[in-house]
Amino acid sequence: MSYACPACGATSQHPDDERYSYCGRCHQFADGAGRAVDSDWFLWDFSQALLRARARRRARMNQDELARDLAREAAEKGGTDDA
């Protein structure tokens, strides 16, 4: 698996370079036809996806923390009722 940049001819063995048609030498992305494209749209889209992933991770963490807090409170209540 390798990617060859249509603009400069540099090759890369990195799978993400092939997946995103990215050239590390040119620092450019290529469209499906092999033309260099403006990377701003890609970076904006990537940053939005990253923000969504972080929000999902925070939501999962908050749920885990809430579950731990509820379990701790239940254990504390159980301990005081037994005494």
User: pLDDT for 38-71, tens place per residue?
Assistant: 556 666 677 777 888 888 888 887 888 888 888 8
Q: Is residue 77 part of a domain?
A: no
Q: Is residue 20 part of a domain?
A: yes
Q: Contact at 8 Å (CB) between 16 and 24?
A: no
Q: Is residue 66 part of a domain?
A: no
pLDDT over 80 at 10, yes or no: yes
How many structural domains does the chain have? 1
pLDDT over 50 at 82, yes or no: no
For residue 27, how many C-alpha atoms fall within 13 Å in the half-sphere facing its CB? 2
Q: Is residue 45 part of a domain?
A: no
The pTM assigned to this predicted structure is 0.39
Q: Give residue 1's domain range.
A: 1-37
Rounded to an integer, the average pLDDT of 13-34 is 78
